[in-house]
Each structure stands twice: as structure tokens, then as C-alpha cells.
Amino acid sequence: MPTLNRYIPLFLAGLMSACLQLPEIDTSPPTQSDAGVDPADSGTPATELSVTITAPTGTFYTSGSVELTVDVRGGTPDLVRLYKNEAELAIIDSPYRYTWNTAAEPEGSYTLTVRALKAGRTFSSAPVTVIVDRTNLQVASRSPAPGSTNVAYSTPIQVLFSKPVKATTINDTTVSFTVSGVLAEKTLSLSSDGRTLTLLPKVKPPLPATVSIGLSNGITDSAGNALVVPSTPWSFQLPHWYSFGGPLHAVGGNTLLKDTAMALDGQDNPVVAWSEEVTTGGRTSIFIYRWDGNAFTPIGSALNGTPSGSAYKPALVLDGNGNPIVAWQESDGFNENIYIKRWTGTAWQFVGPGSLSAVNDTSSSPVATPARNPSLAIRGNNIYVAWDEMNAEGFSSIHVWKSVNGGPLTSAGAYDGLVHAVHRFTSATKPSLVLDSNGQPLVAFQEQTLENTSPTNIYVMRLQPDDSWAYAVPPFYGDDTNGYVYGGLSVSSGATPARDCSLAIDAQDNLYLAWSEVSHTDGPNDIQVFRSSGPQSWERIGSPLNAYGGYTNARQARLQVTALGKIFVTWAESDTNTEIGYRHLFASYWSNDSWISLTTPDGINQGQNNSLRPMLAIDSSERLMVSWYESRNSVDDAMGDYLYVRRYNK
């Protein structure tokens, strides 16, 4: 009995403890996660409702009313409510449709949901977004700008809208495109964000042309707001030749200039060099400018090789970093020498010791031996320069020298890099230098076929592994008594002067030559174009080039080829057979079986008179680019007022 009494308190304590551990009661309202469970009947499953807003879907834009359609499945709800940003907007009845007039709503974004009640439970739809927008659609910008008169054909024709456009409202009805007043076919495309419309002509129109584009108020945004059509009409001009800026000169005032040179950088921007007076009637310097996408800007200061001499005849190449290297001729007061400088990115530095001359002449020498007409070529770190230089006997020869990475200049080949085609007392002048795929130099030039005042032929010489110079392509086997020398090029068996040659080379080491020469005795000068045909011959490319077909003189030929051998030629030609005629510039390219002109009868320099010394380059899109200077008269190498750069508009 004492033992039993001992356990009674423990038993009562345990019983009391068990009575106090009661289950917790959930007094919170039912949530969506309770769907399918009826709290009134101890977990017995209830009918599920499916609530879906079937219209509108996704994000819906409106400037007026919204037609709402709801689909309810799985039973008949007791009540269906529409909510706007969690505030009740309306109670809707079967068939669950509602028109929401947003006229009184502020512009902005609204979230709509529908909630159906059944047996005390709530079933909600997924939300949809309605954006109320009553602001009219506007044009933010147009490119090219309305009224532009110098538009590159490659410039995208685009409209930037103030907000996304409804794609179905962009079509031929709402967007018109005319060329010189005639409707033309075009392709319309809208950017993924709906804000940029791009228009592309299906066929390139004949240039020059005036392009007009019309936009109508049938274009709307996603909310249906109509486009506010700009009050300024959208038209612009596509010239035949696109101009890089306007007339170019460095000093201004009445200073005169001449002797253009040009090269293209890696972005197809032109870099130009020329000779211009530093003061009116004073000495001349070499100026180098680069196109920065908007204007020509100077590269460093003006260049001279001497304290008081005048610099002429610049030649220009760009290194692998796009930095220019310039060679020119300049007098030191007694003699003319060649000078070369390269741009380091911050300053101009001489290539070599400064003045360059193959003949060691000084002011104490009996005669001057001027070095003139430099030509440059570059491959990697190797810079080659060719020039013509007179010797003490009074006839000139071609010299070719080389610098490695801007270091000292050494002769390319034996005998101070001397190059001669005719082994008599003849003068060779005006070299045109290129490098082959192995980086070896080839030089073309004009040289007399006989002594004294004999006509000149064109010769092309190549540096050999033994440091000798030999004919690059020896096509003929004449003799030097009849004026038709082995290795020379002339269209009249050497009886007429062939002058101003231009040499080019393609990626397969095929050679191309252009020069000025009469096509028949007593005829006018035409442009003659040849190319190498195998290792032992030359072949003519098409007929001689001239613009007018009469007794007009075509001169100053320049030629360039693409890597695959597409040929471009430009030249200057008088519009009459007299010296008082105007000089125009012309350009053509070879299309497999014929020459195709890129110019009108007025030439590249439409509206101008006397254009001299064209230089050309071909960009990565095979667009021809030409630079020249405009003179006050048509005399060869007369000084002028401005330099121009234009590109064929394609």
C-alpha cells in the first residue's frame, strides 16, 4: 500500500499534462493553395474551377476601350469579380464579357485579374497587362536628313519612331518611295523593338537622283494612336559621285596648291596629301589630312625637309597601323632631293638621314643633279621608294631604295639601286612602284628609246635575286636603232611618246599598266591599258580610252586593281582640242569584255573647269575614290585653289 500511494501523484501529474497538450487551431482565411479542399467537410475534395482571361492576352495596348472575355470551367461560380491593380473594377455575369472604357483612366500600365467564388473558395486567373496610351505616335528622326544634297548611296534610309509601331500598319500604302518623281519598288523592314523602320530600294536608281519618302497617318502605334506626319517633306539627293566634305585647303586665303596623293585606311577613310603655299606666293609645304567620318582633319604639322625650300610631288602610303608615310621632292637652295617622313602616332619622323640622293652632289659641284617624282610602296616593315634623278651628264635614271622599319635607306639592287632599260644615253623619268606577293619591287617608268629627243616607251623592271634589275615582262625583240627597244611598251612601235604610266599588281602577281599616248600618228592622246599575259607577253585591255572620241587629249592616267584583278582607270581630258578647253576627270572599269564608264560627259568634276592630277583608290566595297585639285587654267601642273575627294556612289 505504501508503494501504490507513491505512484498516485505521478499518475495524476501525467494525466494533467496530457490534458493540457491540445492541437493548435488555424484561424487564418483560406488561400489559393487550399484549392480542392473544402474546409467545411474535413478535407472532402470540392469541384475545381479554372478561370482564364482569353481576351486580351499578353500585354495589350489601348487608347480607348478594352473588350474582356473570361472562360470559367469546372462548374458554375457563385460570383465573378474583375480586379484592376487589386481594386475591384466590376462584377461580371455569364457569358463573362466586359467592356472597360479607359477614357477616364490616367495613362499607364494596369494589371487585370478575374476571381471566381464558389462554396466560399476563390479561384483566380493569371493576370494580363493593359497599357493605356493616348499619346500620338511621332517621328523622332529621319536618316538621311530631309534636304540633304550629298548622300552616299550606302547610307541606310531609316525612320526612328517615338515608340513601337504596330507592324501591320507598315506597308506600301502607308509608306511611299519615289525616285525623281516616279514611284519605285522598295523593301520595308521593322526592327525587333518596333521603333526603327528601314527602307531599301529593290533596284539601284540611275544617279544623280532625288529621293522622296512619304509617311501617312495610317501608321499607328500598338494602342492605335496615329502617326503625326512631319510637316517637313522628306527628300534628299543622291549625287553621281559622293563628296567627302567640300573644297579642301590647309592655309586659306589666296594660297595655291597642287600635287595630290591619296591612300585609304582600314576603315576606308581617305588620307590625302598635297603641296600648298604657306603664305600667298611663298614657299610650299606638304600637308596631310585624314577623313574622320565627318570632316578632314590634319595629321600633325606641315612638312618640309629644309628651312626655306618648297616641297612638291608628295607620294603617300599607310603602314599596318594606318599611319601615313610621305615622300616628296624639295630644293635645298642648290639641288632638289627626296625626303621621307613617317607618322608615329604623335609626331613626324624622318625615314633615313633626311635628304635622299643617289648622286653625291654638293653646292661645290659644277651642276645640280635634281631628284624628283618619288613613288612609295610598303609591305610589312619594308618601305621602298623610287625616284628619277639627273646625273652630271644631263640625263636621268630611276633609283630604288629600301628602308626597314623606318631605319637607314639602302639601295635596292646594285649600282645605288639604278634602274635603266635602254643602255644608252637616255633619260628615264616618272617611276610607278609596286611590290609583288613576295615583297619584291617592280617599277614602271618612261624612258627614251634613243638618245637626245627620241620618243619614250614604257618599261617595267623587276629586282632579281642577284640584285640586278631585269625586264618584268619582255614582250618584244626590237633593236635600239628604230626606236622600238626590247622590253618597251608603245602602241605605235615606239614612234610616239608614251607618258605618265601607272603600274598596279593583283594578288596573283599579274601586272597592269596604263599610260597616255596617241593611238595613231598625229592623233589625240588616248589612255592605253595593258596587262601581263603569262611571263613573256603583254595584252591590250579593250579599246583606247577617251571621253569625247574626237581630237581631245586624254592625259594623267591612273590605274588600280582589286586583289582579284578588277581594273579601274581614271584620267583627265580636255573637252576641246585646243588649249583653252576645260579639263574634266573621267573614270571607267573593265567588265570582262568592255570598258564601263562611271562618269557623265561632264566628268567627275561636274560644275568645275580645270581638274588636274587625279589620284585613285578602291575601297573594300570596290567603290572607286578619286582625289584631284582644281586649277585656274588647264596647263599641266598649274597650281590651283582647292583639293577635292569624291567616291563613286554605289
| Interval 532-583: pLDDT, tens | 987 778 899 999 999 987 778 899 999 999 998 999 999 999 887 655 568 8
Q: How far apart are CA 127 and CA 107, in angstroms?
A: 19
Instruction: State yes or no: pLDDT of 243 exceeds 60.
Output: yes
Determine whether 462 is exposed, middle or buried from the number of CB atoms within 10 Å of its CB (0-12, 13-18, 19+): middle
Kindly report, residue by residue over 330-370, the tens digit of the pLDDT.
998 888 999 999 999 999 999 988 899 988 665 555 678 89
Instruction: State yes or no: pLDDT of 10 exceeds 70.
Output: no
Kindly report, residue by residue over 278-315, the tens digit of the pLDDT.
999 999 999 999 999 999 999 999 999 999 999 999 99
Instruction: State yes or no: pLDDT of 218 exceeds 50.
Output: yes
DSSP state of 376: E
Contacts of 551 (CB under 8 A, 6+ apart): 523, 524, 577
Pairing, β 175-179 against β 209-215: antiparallel
pLDDT at 364: 55
Shared fold status for 39-132 and 139-239: yes
Give the global pTM: 0.83
The label of the residue with cell 509608306 reads 175
Contacts of 111 (CB under 8 A, 6+ apart): 84, 85, 86, 127, 128, 129, 130
pLDDT at 170: 98
Instruction: State yes or no: pLDDT of 131 exceeds 80.
Output: yes
Instruction: State yes or no: pLDDT of 152 exceeds 90.
Output: yes
**pLDDT bucket at 21, cuts 50 / 70 / 90:** very low
Q: Where are the domains of the chain?
A: 39-132, 139-239
pLDDT at 81: 96
Instruction: State yes or no: pLDDT of 403 exceeds 90.
Output: yes
Kindly report, residue by residue over 404-448, the tens digit of the pLDDT.
988 999 999 999 999 988 877 889 999 999 999 999 999 999 999
pLDDT at 522: 77
**pLDDT bucket at 615, cuts 50 / 70 / 90:** very high
Determine whether 554 is exposed, middle or buried from the number of CB atoms within 10 Å of its CB (0-12, 13-18, 19+): buried
Q: How far apart are CA 102 and CA 60, in angstroms?
A: 13
Mean pLDDT computed over 125-142: 96
pLDDT at 474: 72
Instruction: State yes or no: pLDDT of 38 exceeds 70.
Output: no
> Cell for 155?
547610307
Nearest Cα neighbor of 423 from 367, 461, 370 is 461
Mean pLDDT computed over 511-526: 89
Mean pLDDT computed over 526-530: 95
Instruction: State yes or no: pLDDT of 488 exceeds 90.
Output: no
Rg over alpha carbons for the chain, rounded to the nearest Å, is: 41
pLDDT at 475: 57
**More confident site: 36 or 528:** 528
Q: How far apart are CA 69 and CA 51, in angstroms?
A: 11
Q: Are the C-beta atoms of residues 502 and 513 closer than 8 Å to each other?
A: yes
> For residues 368, 373, 376 and 382, what is the CA-based torsion angle, rounded to 10 degrees?
-10
Number of other CB atoms surrounding residue 347 within 10 Å: 10
pLDDT at 419: 95
> Cell for 218?
495610317
Mean pLDDT computed over 118-124: 94
> For residues 515, 521, 522 and 526, what is the CA-based torsion angle, rounded to 10 degrees?
-20
pLDDT at 73: 94
Q: What is the mean pLDDT of the chain?
A: 88
Alpha helices by DSSP H, listed for 462-562, are none
Kindly report, residue by residue over 187-198, the tens digit of the pLDDT.
999 999 999 999
Q: Are the C-beta atoms of residues 325 and 317 closer than 8 Å to each other?
A: yes
Cis omega (within 30 of 0) for bond into 374: no
Does the domain formed by 39-132 have CATH 3.50.50.60?
no
Give the whole-number percent of the chain exceeding pLDDT 90: 73
Mean pLDDT computed over 465-490: 73
Number of other CB atoms surrounding residue 111 within 10 Å: 12
Q: Say which range, 54-63, 405-414, 481-490, 598-607, has the weakest mean pLDDT.
A: 481-490
**208: region left, alpha or beta (phi > 0 left; psi from -120 to 50 alpha):** beta
Q: How far apart are CA 623 and CA 617, in angstroms?
A: 8
Q: Say which range, 19-28, 412-421, 456-465, has the weakest mean pLDDT.
A: 19-28
Nearest Cα neighbor of 386 from 401, 397, 396, 371 is 401
Q: How far apart are CA 524 and CA 205, in angstroms?
A: 35
**pLDDT bucket at 40, cuts 50 / 70 / 90:** very low
pLDDT at 163: 95
- Name residue 442's beta-bridge partners: 434, 462
CATH tag for 139-239 (out of 3.30.420.40, 1.10.3720.10, 2.60.40.1220, 3.10.450.50):
2.60.40.1220
